[in-house]
Chain A
């Protein structure tokens, strides 16, 4: 280590992912990020705590839906094809809500990226959060950067083995609880937890936990920044999202260069030097293994830990903070030209961000409107094809229909089935001993599709054609009085004549 300043040590570190030193085919070079301190690090701790809490706690939240529906607040019930989200219940045919949410998430990501850059990558992406968590464990057991490098190079002593075993054990524990929490979104969490411990849970639960444990362990423990650089498509897409008014983590070279490790000496010698003391603190804390002073780069997830690191050093050497800062390209260009940075909060309002907000709001409001006015009753009718019609002894004709009434509320309901547009038609339900009637009442179990065979009878003399259109009207008796209808055909013999 070389002392470069009165109080700043120069850290011996190379940016392993620097463009010049990177080949297309090369084994990963281990990165040992140093613990950071500062406001962005604090923010990241909070984001980590909140996102992890949401992930782990959500399946355990309860939400009372009455006796006929599960009481788990968020539940993806794949077996019964229902999705519950607090007061919302979604049936498979309502999956467009999920599509809408995905569109909102996509547009939201565009909006965030175009304004504050890769905030998703740097703060909330699960990969970032879990790598951060794994680093906490690593640091707790092996110490900070220098200790870890030393240990990595050290021969396999008992102490090293002990530390490695402890670290990997903790990692696997975290990885298992990651996969473990995931399955609770797909079944009643308390029941599944108990079954899981007793080895009575379905095999798919163990498989899922196993796969997610493996991916978490490998992605957060070993692959880390490689996931962002090589596997994730988002860093590539970001390029199209960012513009000159988006915030990115920027090294202000107009201020920092020429960098020098011997400030005082050079200043005394009258050589112009920049603010950068070339201490490499920004490189040492970087979890992506890059040198931000090389400029904007694909690998940078804008976690801002280098800003924290540099600010600490700037405080120490008595220079203003912000040598590395969140800046827009406009600011940077302006500063470089010796003018003040023009970016204010108004820079966030630009045509594209307005469009993003508008699209996001329109999709959101449309979904909300549909959600609030949606019907919890639907009816589908399938005309029997074999036989299409049945000639009855008294001269009337019978057609069979499979009527499916979708009762999408978690309560039993009774519906009145009526026929509109078929003069004199009567009907009966297969298996029922009741006589033919103009309307019949059918009970449907809570939250199920009531499927029934309905025989409709009509006099062909009263019909205008071989095929007549009519509608099945379904009306809820009592309750919300919901109604639905379905158009069907009634056929009589004579088509071939």
Chain B
């Protein structure tokens, strides 16, 4: 290029570029801007030396400081664990009822239980522990296997109908229809009787016919009035809660084919303290006995 051209009006050098007679001024960058820019370059070089920065095929450069955000997380988790160690030990060694009575431990156990619940239990019981068809609502006051702290803890540790745990809770309702114990008419009658037991609309004559069938086939586990027996895991039929639905069709289905819900034995998956925290948490949901 030839010598620098100076714009007459502004006195600034031009770039020499011209469009329709308009020339672009070559206004220099403000000093402060330029120096800030240089400073960012220096900063970036320093940063690349000190910290992981340049991506490689597998991983990246490590940086002089050897910093890693994963290490940060690991350290924070370790710190949190150390911080909780005392409380966790206490929860692990104390009786469930004592944990519940100690306000600090109770709060700690409920918080820990809630977090363990959201990892392990919500898949079936729901995030609010409200369950669904076939999965018990843990907020209510109906318990298949008992709602005391110890009963809940046992259920948690050994599970229900869980193969591989000898102490698992097992109850086996016969499939009255499928196995040919009762015929369709009998099942219909006994279903009407169950509707009567739980105070729902029912066919009086059929229900009365079903009374004898109930006493013969059902009362042994569910009780004469359908009040249920928690020791054998037989649910109460006389109340407003039905795990698999309390309408006629659901009852007929249950009597015909029986139900066999399964819950894992968490004793083999979770440590003692966590299991206790879970028991305290579930007990605290409003239905604990």
Residues of B within 8 A of A392 (CB): 140-142, 240-241
Contact partner, A431, options B130, B236, B284, Cβ 8 Å:
B284
Residues of A within 8 A of B137 (CB): 387, 390-391
Q: Does B171 contact A (CB under 8 A)?
A: no
When the two chains form their complex, are residues B241 and A391 in contact, meaning their CB atoms are under 8 A apart? yes
B88-123 near A? 1/0 per residue, CB < 8 Å: 000000000000100000100000000000000000
Q: Does A386 contact B (CB under 8 A)?
A: yes
Least Cβ–Cβ distance between B146 and chain A, in angstroms: 14
A374-390 near B? 1/0 per residue, CB < 8 Å: 00000000001111001
Least Cβ–Cβ distance between A457 and chain B, in angstroms: 10
Contact partner, B140, options A384, A385, A390, A430, Cβ 8 Å:
A390
Q: How many residues of B contact A (CB 8 A)?
A: 20
Least Cβ–Cβ distance between A439 and chain B, in angstroms: 19
When the two chains form their complex, are residues B127 and A393 in contact, meaning their CB atoms are under 8 A apart? no
Most chain A CB within 10 A, of B106, B139, B284, B287, is at B139
Residues of A within 8 A of B142 (CB): 392-393
Q: Does A202 contact B (CB under 8 A)?
A: no
CA distance A387 to B286 in the complex (A): 11
Contact partner, B199, options A384, A386, A391, A395, Cβ 8 Å:
A395
Summarize A's interface: helix, strand, loop or mixed: loop
CA distance A431 to B97 in the complex (A): 12
When the two chains form their complex, are residues B127 and A390 in contact, meaning their CB atoms are under 8 A apart? no
Q: Does B14 contact A (CB under 8 A)?
A: no
When the two chains form their complex, are residues B130 and A393 in contact, meaning their CB atoms are under 8 A apart? no
Given the contacts A391-B140, A431-B106, A386 and B239 also touching, CB distance less than 8 Å: no
B235's nearest neighbour on chain A, judged by CB, is A393
Residues of B within 8 A of A26 (CB): none
When the two chains form their complex, are residues A386 and B236 in contact, meaning their CB atoms are under 8 A apart? no
Least Cβ–Cβ distance between B90 and chain A, in angstroms: 18
A384's nearest neighbour on chain B, judged by CB, is B128
Residues of A within 8 A of B126 (CB): 386-387
Given the contacts A386-B130, A387-B139, A393 and B286 also touching, CB distance less than 8 Å: no
Least Cβ–Cβ distance between B249 and chain A, in angstroms: 15
Contact partner, A393, options B100, B129, B240, Cβ 8 Å:
B240
Considering the complex, which residues of chain A in the window 360-416 have a beta carbon less than 8 Å from any beta carbon of chain B?
384-387, 390-395, 398, 400
Most chain B CB within 10 A, of A386, A393, A400, is at A393
Considering the complex, which residues of chain B in the window 124-148 have a beta carbon less than 8 Å from any beta carbon of chain A?
126-130, 137, 139-142
Measuring CB to CB, which residues of chain A are less than 8 angstroms from any residue of chain B? 384-387, 390-395, 398, 400, 430-431, 455
Can you name 28 A-B residue pairings with CB atoms under 8 Å? A385-B128, A386-B127, A387-B126, A387-B129, A387-B139, A390-B137, A390-B139, A390-B140, A391-B140, A391-B240, A391-B241, A392-B141, A392-B240, A393-B236, A393-B239, A393-B240, A393-B241, A394-B239, A394-B240, A395-B199, A395-B240, A400-B139, A400-B286, A430-B284, A431-B100, A431-B106, A431-B284, A455-B286
